[in-house]
Amino acid sequence: MFIGLDVGKSEHHATALDAQGQTVFDKPLPNAEAQLAELLTQLTAEHGPALLVVDQPATIGALPVAVAQAADNVEVAYLPGLTMRRAADLHPGTAKTDARDAYIIAETARTMPAALSSIAASDEQIAELAVLAGFDDDLRGQITATRNRLRGLLTQIHPGLERAVGTHLHQSGVLDALTRWPTPQRLKEAGRGHVRNRIAKHNPRLAETLTEEIFTALGAQSVVVAGTSAAATIIPALAQQLTSLYAQRGEVAEQVEALVVDHPLHQVLTSMPGVGVRTAARLLTEVVGRDFQTPGHLASYAGLAPTTRRSGTSIRGEFANRAGNKRLKSALFTSAFAALNHGPSRAYYDKKHREGKRHEQAIIALARRRLDTLYAMLRDGTLYQEPENPRGGAEHALAA
């Protein structure tokens, strides 16, 4: 039996089909454990083993997945959204309803099982890492938006001051000084000594040089730009918000690090140059527990494998992959960039650069190369080993 579940915040719609495609159940039900468990018990008792397929395995779909995994004679799978939309085009009608979506999910599971993705039994560590990593991504986005807003406001009232402090807005001393003296006039009134001492409380090495840059910039502009008074209210609020966001991200990083260190694959993952705690956490949540038959399958899932397009004689070639798991792709890209100070990685990057690839293309090529080694490390449970041929001649010689 195939159960398609179109999940929702307050209620889901379930459609169950037997092996011949006959509908045996088609009703909405609350997003509650008791009703979900009762439905699965009833259907399996009447029709035998079942496959429950959801369109969202996380967030609002997490409870149905957990209930199904705890039930007897029930397997769980996931139908990706893009695949579902393409399957919907094969069915007549253009209506968008929960009942129709649930039927399409169930029918696709019955007729096209290869379109489904498996959902492994929940691992508490991985589940916690997924929640924390998602929150860390949100904090990073908020930090970027707040920092850009602060830099934009500083540019509006004093471009020279923004050039002096704009690249240091991750420093606690700079944010503290802007909270205390948010406008150019108030910084001038405070004087070099007070500003330097304020910065030095948090960033002693930076204080002297940055203070001189700040006051050099302040001396280059004598006019007061319209809106400066309002900026005196907004700048401290943005600086305090950034300070709070950085502190929250630090707390999350500590929890993530504790979970990653406790995981059996911690040493395997972090033995590769360029893989830190955050990258290891993302690899654990996005890769571990999923079945990839070859490194190529993993590369395709991560969006690092090029897309082949061929149609007669008009379209031929390999094009950048715009699909894939964007969170995993971002982590692998960042990790490859961080590994550029590693000899073999730098050699491979330079090789691709000499071949005419731009910086971003060369980093993606390096990330794809590293993924081959990462796949072998996870498959065999082995630590990273330096390649015998640093120039990367053999098939998997360049491990990083």
Segment 364-373 shows an average pLDDT of 94
pLDDT at 394 over 50: no
d(CA 282, CA 276): 10
Residue 310 has pLDDT above 80, yes or no: no
Greater model confidence, 394 or 56: 56
Higher pLDDT, 263 or 392: 263
pLDDT tens, residue by residue, 21-74: 999 999 999 999 999 999 999 999 999 999 999 988 877 888 999 899 899 999
Q: Is the pLDDT of residue 7 over 60?
A: yes
Query: What's the pLDDT tens digit per position in 84-121?
Result: 888 888 888 878 899 999 999 999 999 998 888 777 65
Quickly list DSSP for 165-182.
Answer: HGGGTTSHHHHHHHHHS-
Name the token pair of 359. Answer: 């910086």
Q: Tokens 């259907």 appear where? A: 43
CA nearest neighbour of 77 among 148, 10, 133, 5: 5
Six-digit token string for 150: 């602060």
| Angle at which helices 359-380 and 326-338 cross, to 10° | 100
Residue 392: what pLDDT?
A: 43
* Whole-number average pLDDT of the chain: 89
pLDDT band for position 319 (cuts 50, 70, 90): low
Rounded to whole angstroms, how far apart are CA atoms 41 and 22?
19
| pLDDT tens-place string over residues 166-193 | 999 999 999 999 999 999 999 999 999 9
Residues 2-122, CATH architecture: 2-Layer Sandwich (3.30)
Residues 143-159 pLDDT 10s: 999 999 999 999 999 99
Q: Measured between alpha carbons, how far is 32 from 365 in angstroms, rounded to an integer?
A: 46
> Of 43, 37, 85, 77, whose CA–CA distance to 57 is shortest?
77
**How many residues are there in the chain?**
400
- Distance CA(336)–CA(369), nearest Å, equals 9
Percentage of residues in the chain having pLDDT higher than 90 = 71
In angstroms, the CA 340 to CA 350 distance is 10
CATH code matching the domain that covers 129-256, chosen among 1.10.287, 1.10.3470, 1.10.8, 3.90.550: 1.10.287
Pick the closest to residue 352 from 399, 392, 313 (CA basis). 392
Report the C-alpha gap between 386 and 398 in whole angstroms. Answer: 8
Q: Cα-flanking dihedrals φ and ψ of residue 223, to 5°? A: -80, 150
Give the Cα-Cα-Cα angle 152, 157, 162 (nearest 5 degrees): 55
10 Å CB burial of residue 318 (0-12, 13-18, 19+) is exposed
Q: Where are the beta strands (DSSP E) in the chain?
A: 2-6, 11-17, 23-30, 50-54, 74-78, 117-118, 307-311, 315-319
285 neighbors 349 (Cβ within 8 angstroms): no
**In this predicted structure, which of 123-132, 252-261, 376-385 has the lowest mean pLDDT?**
123-132
* Dist CA 368 CA 305 (whole Å): 7
Tell me the CB-side half-sphere exposure of residue 79, using CA atoms within 13 A: 31
Amino acid at 266: H
The token pair at 382 is 């082995």
pLDDT value of position 276: 92
Percent of the chain with pLDDT strictly greater than 70: 92
d(CA 338, CA 274): 5
Query: Which of 199-203, 210-214, 324-328 has the lowest average pLDDT?
Result: 324-328
pLDDT at residue 393, rounded to an integer: 42
State the DSSP H helix or E strand holding residue 5, giving kind and residue range, or none if neither.
strand 2-6
pLDDT at 399 over 50: no
For residue 140, pLDDT over 50 is answered with yes
Report the range out of 72-86, 128-142, 230-244, 289-303 with the highest average pLDDT. 230-244
- Residue bearing the bigger pLDDT, 358 or 319: 358
Give the single-character DSSP code of 24: E
CA distances from 179 to 223, 231, 316, 378, 380 (A): 22, 11, 57, 47, 52
**Predicted local confidence at residue 122, as pLDDT:** 54
Q: What is the pLDDT of residue 130?
A: 87
- Parallel, antiparallel, or unpaired for β 23-30 and 11-17? antiparallel
pLDDT band at 306 (very low <50, low <70, confident <90, very high): confident
- pLDDT score at 362: 94
pLDDT for the residue 400? 35
Stretch 381-400: mean pLDDT: 60
> Which long-range contacts (C-beta less than 8 Å, at least 24 apart) are formed by 288-292?
288/126, 288/378, 289/120, 289/123, 289/126, 290/117, 290/118, 290/120, 291/118, 292/375
pLDDT band for 396, please (50, 70, 90 cuts).
very low
Strands 2-6 and 50-54: parallel
Domain residue ranges in the chain: 2-122, 129-256, 267-380
First and final CA of the chain: distance in angstroms?
A: 46
Q: Which of 61-65, 121-125, 229-233, 288-292 shows the lowest per-residue confidence on average (mean pLDDT)?
A: 121-125
